[in-house]
Structure 1
Amino acid sequence: MYRYVEDKRFVSKMRQFCGSIMQELCHTLKRDWNIGTVFFLVGSGARNLILQNENCPIDLDYNLEFVRLDPSLSEREVKEAVRCAFNKVLRRRGLPDCQDSTAALTTATMSLYRGNPALFSMDVCIVRREPDGTLSRLIHQKNGSVQLDRYIWNTACNSDGLREKVQLIRQSGKWGEVRQAYLSLKNQYLRRNDLYHPSFICYIEAVNQVYCTMTNKTEYVTWAGSLTRK
Structure 2
Amino acid sequence: MYNYVTNKQLISGMRSCCGDIMQDLCHTLKEEYDIGATFTLVGSGARNLILQNANEPIDLDYNLKIIRIDDYEDCPYIKECVRKAFNIVLRKHGWRDCEDSKSSLTTEKRYFPRISDTEFSMDVCIVCEDEDGNLYRLIHKKTGYTNVNSIAYAASIYPRLVPRRADNEYYWNMAPNSRDIKFKVDYIKRNGKWELVREQYKSIKNRYLTQNDHNHPSFICYIEAVNNVYNSIKGWK
TM-score range, shorter chain: 0.7 to 0.9
**Contact kept? 2:175, 2:220, Cα under 8 Å:** no
**Partners of 1:121 and 1:55 in 2: CA distance:** 14
**Partners of 1:62 and 1:76 in 2: CA distance:** 20
Correspondence for 1:121: 121
Tell me whether 1:159 sits opposite 2:158 in the alignment. Answer: no
**Partners of 1:13 and 1:158 in 2: CA distance:** 32
Counterpart selection for 2:209 from 190, 195, 210: 190
Question: Residue 162 and residue 73 in structure 1: after superposition, are their counterparts in 2 closer, same or farther (change >3 A)?
Answer: closer
Tell me whether 1:53 sits opposite 2:72 in the alignment. Answer: no
**Partners of 1:8 and 1:111 in 2: CA distance:** 15
1:71 Cα shift? 3.5
Tell me whether 1:179 sits opposite 2:198 in the alignment. Answer: yes
**Partners of 1:145 and 1:119 in 2: CA distance:** 34
Amino acid at match of 1:57: P
TM-align CA RMSD: 2.8
* TM-score, normalised relative to structure 2: 0.76
**Partners of 2:72 and 2:191 in 1: CA distance:** 49
1:18-76 CA-partner distances (Å, limit 9, x unpaired): 1111111122222222x232322242444321110012121222222333324399432
Question: Residue 111 and residue 46 in structure 1: after superposition, are their counterparts in 2 closer, same or farther (change >3 A)?
Answer: farther
Correspondence for 1:144: 144
**Partners of 1:13 and 1:5 in 2: CA distance:** 13
| Other structure's SS at 2:21 match | helix
**Partners of 2:117 and 2:45 in 1: CA distance:** 21
1:109 Cα shift? 1.1
| Other structure's SS at 1:148 match | coil
1:97 Cα shift? 0.8
Paired-residue identity, %: 50
**Contact kept? 1:39, 1:62, Cα under 8 Å:** no
Question: Residue 174 and residue 21 in structure 1: after superposition, are their counterparts in 2 closer, same or farther (change >3 A)?
Answer: same
1:80 Cα shift? 1.5
1:142 Cα shift? 1.0
**Partners of 1:44 and 1:190 in 2: CA distance:** 19
Higher relative contact order (CA 8 A, sep 6+): 2
**Partners of 2:72 and 2:184 in 1: CA distance:** 40
Segment drifting more, 66-75 vs 121-130? 66-75
1:189 Cα shift? 3.0
Correspondence for 1:82: 82
1:197 Cα shift? 4.3
- The answer for unaligned runs of 5 or more in structure 1 is 218-230
Correspondence for 2:107: 107
Question: Residue 30 and residue 195 in structure 1: after superposition, are their counterparts in 2 closer, same or farther (change >3 A)?
Answer: closer
Correspondence for 1:96: 96
How many equivalent pairs are there?
216
Amino acid at match of 2:31: R
**Partners of 1:163 and 1:73 in 2: CA distance:** 24
Larger Rg: 2
| Other structure's SS at 1:49 match | coil
**Partners of 1:208 and 1:80 in 2: CA distance:** 32
Segment drifting more, 122-131 vs 164-173? 164-173
| Other structure's SS at 1:121 match | strand
Question: Residue 203 and residue 27 in structure 1: after superposition, are their counterparts in 2 closer, same or farther (change >3 A)?
Answer: closer
1:14 Cα shift? 0.9
**Contact kept? 1:45, 1:61, Cα under 8 Å:** no
